[in-house]
Amino acid sequence: MRKITGSVCLWGILLLITPGSGLSAEAIDNQALLEEIRALRAKVAEMDAMKERLAELEALVTARQPQPAATAERPAAATTLDEDSRPMVKEVVEEVFAEKRPIAIGGALRFNYGYTDWNIDQDEKYGDAGFDIFRLNVDGALADWILSAEYRFYSYQHTIHHGFVGYNVNDNWQVQAGIHQVPFGLLPYASHNFWFSSAFYVGLEDDYDLGIKGLYQEGPWNLALAFYKNDELGSSTNLDRYSIDVVSGTDGNEETNQFNGRLAYLLDHGSLGETEVGVSGQWGQLYNNQTRDMGDRWAGALHLNGNYGNWNLQLEYAAYAYNPENPPGFDDDIIHVGGYATSWPIPAEADIGIVNVAYTFPLALKWLDSITLYSDNTIIAPAADNQPTSWQNVIGALFASGPVYTYLDVISSENMIFSEPGSSMVDESVANNDERNTRFNLNVGYYW
């Protein structure tokens, strides 16, 4: 490979402007020439940096090439690169391309199989399988600016998951603006399984809204402060959404002007592991577009997230309350939420308890990297006496194999949405309430 040094370029420039070079001094614009020299010097500096990076990559390729066995007649020696080292050129191009383009494109493709013990048709067919999701992710960083976005395509809806622009103010503070995760309770999830905890179905796990958030990290301390103008879509009538939010339905309620704060502290136990403990608070308004009156809502949580070797323990206690200004004839003890192209009623006030435990087995198999076994448990106790207690248990395993992740879950519940059709979280008189229902779920996804 032929290499041209910066000194050769500079000597060429000097030869052009010396007497006898064919150019008279009067014909030369000195200011323009000086600017051109500065530009060429910058290019030379850039070439020198590229040369250094090229030398590093050449050394890396040399180190990775197989070495001939050393003998008395032939001692071990470094392999030299020649004109046929074409993979090395490809690596150089890819490296430069990656450095010049800080945006990364990712995504996932997932399929799902499910079997429920209450569906007679599924019993005859041994369950149903189908397309779950195709999603696209865009993530990147340029200097102190960051970008993250995700859009999801389901068989029954397509919707944004999140999308925000962030800025690293300094080593401790980061600001995010757009649709981002609400800082509340256990993060990023209050569960290990594919189905989430029951808190997700009342809007208190993995929720995303539209607003601005500040994140502060100092040693073991982690603080998040946020304001959300409204839900992520800005439309309380649109049910094609990922996050579970209050939806208008027939009562006319919608979320607005929400404030969040979350403070966490990480306890270091040395070789035993670490424990995060934290407290969260949430307050917002609840506008009714029929009465044109403003209600309010609040939620609070205490959480513990412990990692001890291969064990993970998650504990959370949360409480929430909605105080709507409903039209006449509507029950103030019920609030309607929605997502995934449907809606359902939940208790307007309740306590939530979460106890999750998981253990990960790291493996060195060619086709399997690890297996995580877990048991996730949630109970929701409404404040109203005429509403039933809901509970959910998920026992399952996550199989990780390179880019492929497989969730195998057995989901048991009582009085939970998406269990037996007709089950209710708010009506104790429903005939099939207080019956244990079980769903077997298998989800296989390829992530890139």
| Full-model pTM | 0.77
Predicted confidence (pLDDT) at residue 403 exceeds the cutoff of 50: yes
Mean pLDDT of 83-110: 65
* Percentage of residues of the chain with pLDDT beyond 90: 69
Distance CA 69, CA 403 (A): 36
Of the pLDDT bands very low, low, confident and very high (cuts 50, 70, 90), residue 343 is very high
Q: Max alpha carbon distance in the chain (Å)?
A: 105
Provide the residue ranges of all domains of the chain, joining segments of one domain with +. Answer: 6-65+85-96, 105-447
Quick one: pLDDT at residue 8? 38
Distance CA 180, CA 300 (A): 19
Mean pLDDT of 219-223: 97
In order of 146, 236, 311, 317, the CA distances from 278 in angstroms are 26, 31, 19, 11
Q: Which residue has the higher pLDDT, 434 or 89?
A: 434
Q: Read off the pLDDT of residues 222-262 as tens digits, 9 standing for 90 and up.
A: 999 999 999 999 999 999 999 999 999 889 999 999 999 99
Cα dihedral sign, 401-404-407-408: negative
* Percentage of residues of the chain with pLDDT beyond 70: 76
Residue recorded with tokens 């309350």: 321
Predicted confidence (pLDDT) at residue 18 exceeds the cutoff of 50: no
Quick one: pLDDT at residue 20? 41
Q: Read off the pLDDT of residues 202-215 as tens digits, 9 standing for 90 and up.
A: 999 999 999 999 99
Mean pLDDT of 368-377: 98
- The topology (CATH level 3) of 105-447 is Porin (2.40.160)
Secondary structure letter of residue 25 according to DSSP: G
DSSP SS3 for 62 = helix
The mean of the pLDDT values for the chain is 85
Quick one: pLDDT at residue 95? 56
Q: Read off the pLDDT of residues 279-309 as tens digits, 9 standing for 90 and up.
A: 999 999 999 999 999 999 999 999 999 999 9
Residue recorded with tokens 């106890």: 355
Distance CA 64, CA 228 (A): 52
Predicted confidence (pLDDT) at residue 370 exceeds the cutoff of 60: yes
Quick one: pLDDT at residue 364? 87
Distance CA 357, CA 61 (A): 45
